[in-house]
Amino acid sequence: MKSYGFLVLLAATVPVLGACEGTLGVAVTAPATAEPAELVNLASADLMCRPKEIEFARINDHARTASGCGRQRTYMEQCAPEASGAVACSWVEMPAEEEKQPKEPRKSPI
């Protein structure tokens, strides 16, 4: 005899989820995120490397490191609200560590 326990559980869950939406009046949507393809294209251009030669490492939920062709770049996901109320996200390159550090003023020979 076949077991249909999963279908019974699913059938029992769907009305509950629908009731929550009706009661709260809020639809649940996924948070906005930047497109992975955008990161691949950006890294490919910055590293001057074919996409298949690039390795990505996750730093955290919103940051990645791309390495390939002897170069490395770090990218951060940035999100901003649009006039329509939607949130748009994109990947931006973070400056290299040496660029982040304040540089000492050069002493003039004069």
Residues 34-43 have pLDDT tens digits of 899 999 999 9
More confident residue, 8 or 48: 48
Q: Above 90 in pLDDT, residue 24? A: no
Question: Is residue 29 within 8 Å of residue 86, measured between CB atoms?
Answer: no
More confident residue, 35 or 21: 35
Distance CA 86, CA 69 (A): 37
Question: Is residue 73 within 8 Å of residue 45, measured between CB atoms?
Answer: no
Residues 76-89 have pLDDT tens digits of 999 999 888 889 99
Q: How confident is the model at residue 15 (pLDDT cuts 50, 70, 90)?
A: very low
Give the ranges where 25-93 is alpha helix by DSSP (H).
36-47
Distance CA 39, CA 51 (A): 10
Positive or negative, the CA dihedral 10, 16, 19, 24 is: negative
Q: Average the pLDDT over 24-33 and give the result.
A: 57
Residues 55-109 have pLDDT tens digits of 999 999 999 999 999 999 999 999 999 888 889 999 999 987 654 555 555 555 5
